[in-house]
A and B are shown apart, each in its own frame.
Chain A
Amino acid sequence: MKKIVVKNLSKHFLLKDQSRIEVIGGLSFEVEEGEFISILGPSGCGKSTLLSILAGLEAPSSGEIQVSGKTLGTNGTRLGFVFQQPRLLNWRTIQDNIRLPLEHGALSGEEQRRVAQHYLELVRLKGFENYFPLQLSGGMQQRAAMARALAIEPDVLLMDEPFSSLDELTARKMRAELIRIWRETGKTIVFVTHDIYEAVYLSQKLLVVSERPACVYERIDIDIGYPREYDDDRIFDISKNVSRIFLKMEASHAV
């Protein structure tokens, strides 16, 4: 079943002097239920704008997005967000941070606590529920952010370069954790990154997106079974290949 269908999505902004910048130019892709897809593109190529549109923070200029067969924005489709920075509320404990998006829902206080506890354990933060975010390391904060996104039981988990501000060793551990969580929960994940190796290591499908205006330059399937070894030669080979595609794309865009 198709979980996400993006058809001919475009977005432009009008500047003060009435000039237009095309940020996204006719982007189309589909994501299957339970799939892990990465969107890979150079910095500032409009990936974040795409995520903002998916999150409903910005309206597309044209095109259509369907999530679970329903048009985005017209229904109660739930999207879980993990940002580049954890974006936790520093004055709330970890548990209360995870509860935050549940507090305006139908769950009772007791149920909210139970759900928060469940996801806290899933991201391996058990024992830290009453800590404040600034008492935890960056990696642990990002785990809490993941638990918060999962706690709303989202249809799709959107991740915007979630590991790019972590040190490499922590990031590596977090990537392995993410795969474990994905396999345990069966969530559909859309992962945005500019890190080629990370994208290849994590995902089943890869969209290479061109520089502004963003559109799909290449689709790549990664047929390596999970669990994957981080230094698997096949991942290296595919990464090299993707790097070449990247260079070719950059060359064709350079004027």
Chain B
Amino acid sequence: MHTTLKIYSIAVLLAAWIGLSFFFSAQILPGPIPVIQTMIENLRSGDGLFHLYKTVSRVLLGLALAMLLGGATGLVMGLSRKGEEFFESWVMVGLTIPAVVYAIICLLWFGLNDFAAIIAIGITAFPAVAINIWQGVKDIDTQLTAMGKAFRIPRRDLIRKIVMPQTVPYLLAATRYALGIAWKIATTVELIGMSSGVGYMLNYWFGLFSMTQVLAWTLSFTLVLLAIEYLLINPFEKRTTAWRAVVQV
């Protein structure tokens, strides 16, 4: 039922795109067919795959950095009141500063290279991760922990079987947020200061006023993100939160 609805929603989106494209020239809004054709050509050429690969690797490494930094900070904030007071302002400041500022700062400090891109992505996505993990740790049910202790469950098992599963929904939320942010900041960094990646290609085709190419690159990266969501995150979520799905009958 859910999947048919999803197919419908995508079909409606495509139909709207096709419909609108009739009213505009290909310079303003090309239809999906030329865009998809261009995308396939780009990927066939090998060059396209290279740029896609560059962006994906930067996004994933930046994401890993954000999860590491944000996870550690969120853990400290959730576990200790002092940690909460200390890091709260950091996280809030981090959230407030526009992502493009991090991009500029990192490029100025570290130069026009992958390292700068990854650091910029990691720092930009870090507050969202920290906030989710912070909440997750705070929401750990101490009654369940007491139950585990009363049943003499060893500390290792207690953490693995009772504490960790409670944080899974928050970890997933953190990953989703961070992934979305990471991809946006990645294109920004590439647009400003890189000579490879989807952002760079967007900038290049923007310079040549090719709407078809801009849309083709956007589409190819959107497909990658959707693949990550539906092939990795979604199945993991389904498996770990099956108990919840059955409740909402």
Residues of A within 8 A of B (CB): 55-57, 78-79, 81, 83, 85, 87, 89-92, 100-101, 103-104, 132-135, 148, 152
Contact = CB atoms under 8 A, between A and B. Distances in A.
Q: Which residue of A87, A134, A152 has the most chain B CB atoms within 10 A of its CB atom?
A: A87
A39 to B, nearest CB: 17
B8 interface: no
B162 interface: yes
A83 B147 contact: yes
Interface centre among B157, B161, B240 (most CB of A within 10 A): B161
A93 to B, nearest CB: 8
A83 B161 contact: no
20 contacts: A56-B149, A56-B150, A57-B149, A78-B152, A83-B143, A87-B144, A89-B144, A89-B161, A89-B165, A90-B243, A90-B244, A91-B165, A91-B240, A100-B153, A101-B153, A104-B154, A132-B242, A132-B243, A135-B246, A148-B151
Contacts of B152: 56, 78, 101, 104
Given A85-B143, A89-B144, A100-B161, A57 B243 contact: no
Nearest to A101: B151
Nearest to B151: A101
Contacts of A90: 243-244
Interface string B124-149: 00000000000000000001101101
B247 to A, nearest CB: 5
A90 B240 CA distance: 11
A81 B147 contact: yes
Contacts of A57: 146, 149-150
B37 interface: no
A81 B144 CA distance: 12
A134 B242 CA distance: 11
B9 interface: no
Interface residues of B, number: 21
Interface in B162-177: 162, 165
B241 interface: yes
Contacts of B144: 87, 89
B240 A89 contact: no
Contacts of A55: 149-150
Nearest to A158: B150
A87 B144 CA distance: 6
Contact of A134 (B162, B240, B247): B247
B142 to A, nearest CB: 11
Interface string B77-93: 00000000000000000
Nearest to B143: A87
A132 B147 contact: no
B17 to A, nearest CB: 41
A91 B153 contact: no
Given A55-B149, A91-B243, A104-B157, 12 more contacts: A55-B150, A56-B149, A57-B150, A81-B151, A83-B143, A91-B240, A100-B151, A100-B153, A104-B153, A133-B243, A134-B246, A134-B247
B236 to A, nearest CB: 13
Contacts of A85: 143
A73 to B, nearest CB: 11
Contacts of B146: 57
B151 A134 contact: no
A55 B153 CA distance: 12
Interface string B94-110: 00000000000000000
A57 B239 CA distance: 33
A116 to B, nearest CB: 14
B225 to A, nearest CB: 28
A58 to B, nearest CB: 10
A89 B153 contact: no
Which of B147, B152, B247 has the largest number of chain A CB atoms within 10 A? B147
A90 B243 CA distance: 7
B157 A132 contact: no
A38 to B, nearest CB: 20
**What are the nearest 8 A-B pairs in CB distance?**
A101-B151, A132-B243, A87-B147, A55-B150, A81-B150, A134-B247, A91-B243, A91-B165
A202 B154 CA distance: 34
A46 B153 CA distance: 25
Contacts of A101: 151-153
